[in-house]
Structure 1
Amino acid sequence: MPISQSHGFSSPKSELTALVVDDDGVSQKIHHRLLNILGIENDVVANGKEAIDIHLSGKKFNLILMDRDMPVMNGIEATKRLRDMGIGSTIAGVSSHSSSKIKQEFTEAGLDVYHEKPLTVAKLLSVVSKIKPKE
């Protein structure tokens, strides 16, 4: 049985799209692979500025997996800017930080949900269940 079906997610070819925003190559690969397992088409960028730029180019995503600590533009600033641009995608903060102050600061930037790394299929499914319709 495919992993996606064993976790109650039965859409082998989802129409959902996601953007992975993370400067860590290992995290990029893990998140990209988890999204692929769930049948979610996804792109990967290495920092918040690239996330802004890909949206300015006209691409839209249902879900954005946003790391907090990145060079050039961090996840907090990128989340604020995306929200200021009117981006209504579900934004999930994904970070290795567990302090409540850091979580609160990131959430106040405009996150819909926050998860500590590493993401798992179960955590990703809980995020997918919160996805808003595409803009």
Structure 2
Amino acid sequence: MARGGSSSSSNPKISALIVEDHRPTSMLHEAILKRNNMETKVVNNGKHAVELHSKGERFDVIFMDYNMPEMNGAQATKKLREMGVRSMIVGVTSCTDFERVEFMAAGLDKCFKKGLTRAMVEEVLQKLKE
């Protein structure tokens, strides 16, 4: 996967898309990712994430909520995978076990219970290095 930008530390800048409709949660996730030297972009539903990729934008990792208006996380993840998007897609959600199974089957690489923590981000960063 291509990495975005250069870095002032030993870790290269990683580009991250946050797909989350609850503004306080997206702000928290964005702050955690930026503290981990990641470049971020935020959209508030799965449809917007698909549209960005349709326009040629690419990210190293996508942090995706499940419950969102217009297009939920499972629908967006499935569509992105059908479009050939190879970014790591990480679910960050409070969905039910049934929804989590659907979400994983749509093409997630990993799924965490909401809210995102520094330890979760470090796990994702380690996986991206593999």
How far did 1:18 drift?
0.4
Compute the displacement of 1:94 (Å): 0.7
Q: Does 1:50 align with 2:55?
A: no
Match of 1:69 among 67, 70, 73: 67
Instruction: Please list every run of 5 or more consecutive structure 2 residues that lacks an aligned counterpart in the other structure.
Output: 1-8
Q: CA deviation at 1:132?
A: 7.0
Query: Match of 2:119, as an amino acid?
Result: A
Following TM superposition, by how much is the alpha carbon of 1:13 offset from its aligned partner in structure 2, in angstroms? 6.0
Match of 2:125 among 121, 128, 131: 128
Following the alignment from structure 1 to structure 2, what is the Cα–Cα distance between the partners of residues 16 and 87? 16
Contact 1:92 1:114 in 2 (8 A): yes
Percent same amino acid at aligned positions? 41
Q: Which segments of 5 or more consecutive residues in structure 1 lack a partner in the other structure?
A: 1-10
Structure 1 letter corresponding to 2:20: D
Opposite residue 27 of structure 1, the aligned amino acid is T
Q: Please name the residue that 2:5 is paired with.
A: none
Note the aligned Cα RMSD (angstroms). Answer: 1.8
Aligned: 1:115 with 2:99: no
The separation in 1 between residues aligned to 2:39 and 2:87, in whole angstroms, is: 15
TM-score (norm. length: structure 1): 0.85
CA distance in 2, matches of 1:50, 1:131: 24
Letter aligned with residue 70 of structure 1: M
Would the aligned equivalents of 1:18 and 1:40 in 2 still touch at CA under 8 Å?
yes
Aligned partners of 1:21, 1:100: CA distance in 2, in Å? Answer: 20
TM score, norm. by length of structure 2: 0.88
Q: Which amino acid letter does the alignment assign opposite residue 67 of structure 1?
A: D
Other structure's SS at 1:131 match: helix
Once the two structures are superposed, residues 42-76 of structure 1 have per-residue CA deviations (whole angstroms, 9 ceiling, x without a partner) of 10000001001111111110000000000011000
